[in-house]
Structure formats: C-alpha cells, structure tokens
C-alpha cells in the first residue's frame, strides 16, 4: 500500500467522463476544452487528449501548461493581463479572450496575430454562492453593454460566456441560454464562435445528454457559430479520491478522528464554501467527526457514519478530490503534501509525483 496521504486518480472512472464528453461532441458538433483552473494534473493529459479538443486557461502559467503538456487548441483567458506577460501568453495560445474592451484595445497590436474574443456577462447565472457568482452585482467578469461591444466587433471573432456554476439542471441551462440569446442576439450573429464556459454538469448520471446536445446544435445553427464547452468538474467528477490514514481518536462530546491530511491544505475549496467532504458509503452505526491534522480549529472534513468503530491505522478515502482541490493544495502548517498516484485501466497503481521537505522549503524563500 502506498504511503498516505495521496490523491488517487482512477482512469476507469475518468474514462466514463471522457466517453460522455465525446458523445456530446459527436452529437452536438461542440468542441470541449479542459478548464485548467479546475484540474491541471498533466500526468493524465495524454489519456484525456483523445476525448477533448484542447484546454482553456485563466493565467499565463495555465496557458503555457496547456500548450506544452496537452496541446491541440489552446485558449487563453485572464481577468487582466499584465504588460510584462502578454507577449508570452500570445506565444502559447491560438485564441486569446479578453475580459474587457479596455484590455482588448490595450493589447491590440500584441494579439493581432492570433484569434481574439471577448467575454460577455449576461447578468444571470446558476450559482448559489455569491463568492462564485460571475453575475453578482458590480461584477468585473466580462462586458454587458451591446452598445459598447458592437464598435469593437472588427477586432474579435467570438465570445466567451461563462455563467453556469455546478449546474445539474438542464432546464435552467436552457432557460439561461435563452436569456443570452435574447440579450446578445445581434452580437452572436456577427460571431464565428462562442464558448459557453464550464459549470455544466453534463457528465452526471441522470443528465439528459441528448437534449443538451440538441440544444447546443440548435444554438450553433441559429447563429452560425462553432460552440465550445469548457468542462472542468464535469471532466473529472468522481474520478479521484484523497487517501488518508487515521492517526488518533478522541472523545469530546463526539467521537473525533484525526487523519494525516488537512482540509485547509488538501481540500481547500470545501473549506471556502463550508461544505463537507464525501465518504462512501457513509453508512453504519458508528458516527465520527473526521478532522485534519493542522492546528486550524475548523480543519474538519465532516461527520460520517462507519460500519465499524474507527481505529488508529484505519484508512479513510475522501471522494471527488480532483476538481478545485489538487490545484489548490498548499503547504499550510508544513503538513505533508499528498503524493499523486494513478490507477491504470488494468488496475495497477503507479505513483507519478511525491513531495518532500525540499519542495516545501523551495516554495518559500
């Protein structure tokens, strides 16, 4: 058994998502780009490459990673580019999407050699978290005024519109796409391509894939555009676990379990949104609060039910530990960074990355 903690990517589960993405591509004509802000573990890019069309990014580092490690189409986006990085961004991208008209105009000459686009903000989203809502009041994410966008259409060929967040509801997606059409139809008719962003959970087990594909195809035909999707979580959902070992047990009004990991350091997105981790099957008569080993009082994975009393040395596996998790891991408290392992399709395991004291030391100064 590998030394915990480690992230375990199961290729057989990853394959299920890839096959669903491939089916949507085939039925709808849409292209699919991996959103690196969600998942950037490049050791499985060679596996994902056969099912996707490229990557989309949110920074210079991500666009370079996508270009060098994934290949195929490389879309660059950032809320704002700095003068010192724009030339390198352009060198790694075949499309660059600007967040504002101001950035588009500022970097007009530097970006003239590649395809350019602009982010639009339709003013509606599916997010239930204000923190993640791209359409929140006074949002900086994209342009919304047709009168300002129309005069710069000769500088761009397409748009990125990202307003879905963990959206499992096709009817809501359909309704919001209708809102986009109603608001931006004059601009869409002048475009050659439109990215609808990520946050659409179309690889979920019960998602109506045929209806989704038909809607995308209809949108594409109505406006004569190539549609892009940017699946992040949808690409890797349920594919990865965080494997941990129980180090201690306590009782303080509740049964407490301490593992050799930390939600602050290794599953930070759950802490930010105050959500519990997931264990499976989460059934049984023995309830315990599972806690991380950092000194943060709220370093708690959640309360779970186990079939047997949890003891020191037991293994606990946390589900869905890929999206917005591996990319956010950090060295808080100097807690050991999880290794990264892959379970191949034949069931064999291999470790692709381990972290040691030198990595911790060199992350500082």
CA distance 330 to 337: 7
CA-nearest of 159, 157, 158 to 121 is 159
At 58, list the tokens. Answer: 């949110």
Length of the chain: 365
160 backbone dihedrals φ, ψ, rounded to 5°: -115, 130
36 with 55: CB under 8 angstroms? Answer: yes
325 with 255: CB under 8 angstroms? Answer: no
At 180, list the tokens. Answer: 């986009």
Place of tokens 């809320």: 79
Distance in angstroms between the alpha carbons of the first and the last residue of the chain? 34
154 is in an annotated binding site: no
HSE of 81, CA atoms in CB hemisphere, 13 A: 31
At 163, list the tokens. Answer: 């307003």
233 is in an annotated binding site: yes
Place of tokens 């209708």: 178
Q: How far is CA 111 from CA 54, 62, 92, in A?
A: 20, 18, 12
Place of tokens 């399709």: 345
Binding residues: 233, 269
Binding site feature residues for substrate? 233, 269
């Amino acid at each position: 058994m590998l030394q915990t903690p480690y992230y375990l990517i199961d290729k057989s589960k990853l394959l299920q998502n890839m096959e669903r993405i491939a089916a949507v591509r085939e039925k709808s004509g849409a292209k699919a780009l991996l959103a690196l802000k969600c998942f950037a573990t490049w050791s499985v890019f060679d596996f994902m490459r056969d099912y996707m069309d490229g990557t989309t990014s949110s920074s210079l580092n991500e666009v370079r990673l996508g270009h060098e490690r994934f290949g195929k189409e490389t879309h660059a986006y950032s809320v704002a580019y700095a003068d010192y990085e724009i030339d390198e961004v352009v060198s790694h991208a075949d499309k660059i999407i600007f967040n504002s008209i101001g950035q588009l105009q500022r970097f007009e000459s530097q970006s003239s050699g590649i395809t350019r686009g602009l982010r639009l903000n339709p003013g509606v989203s599916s997010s239930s978290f204000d923190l993640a809502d791209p359409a929140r009041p006074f949002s900086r994410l994209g342009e919304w005024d047709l009168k300002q966008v129309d005069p710069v259409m000769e500088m761009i060929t397409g748009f990125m519109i990202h307003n879905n967040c963990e959206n499992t509801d096709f009817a809501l997606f359909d309704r919001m796409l209708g809102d986009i059409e109603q608001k931006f139809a004059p601009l869409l008719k002048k475009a050659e391509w439109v990215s609808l962003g990520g946050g659409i959970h179309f690889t979920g087990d019960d998602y109506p894939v045929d209806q989704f594909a038909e809607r995308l195809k209809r949108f594409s035909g109505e406006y004569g555009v190539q549609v892009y999707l940017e699946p992040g979580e949808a690409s890797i959902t349920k594919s990865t676990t965080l494997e941990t070992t129980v180090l201690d047990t306590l009782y303080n009004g509740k049964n407490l379990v301490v593992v050799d990991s930390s939600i602050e350091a290794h599953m930070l997105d759950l802490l930010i949104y105050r959500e519990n981790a997931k264990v499976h099957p989460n059934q049984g008569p023995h309830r315990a609060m599972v806690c991380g080993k950092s000194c943060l009082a709220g370093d708690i994975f959640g309360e779970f039910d186990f079939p047997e009393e949890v003891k020191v040395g037991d293994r606990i596996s946390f589900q869905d530990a890929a999206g917005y998790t591996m990319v956010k891991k950090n060295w808080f408290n100097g807690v050991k960074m999880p290794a990264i392992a892959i379970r191949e399709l034949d069931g064999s395991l291999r470790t692709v990355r381990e972290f040691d004291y030198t990595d911790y030391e060199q992350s500082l100064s």
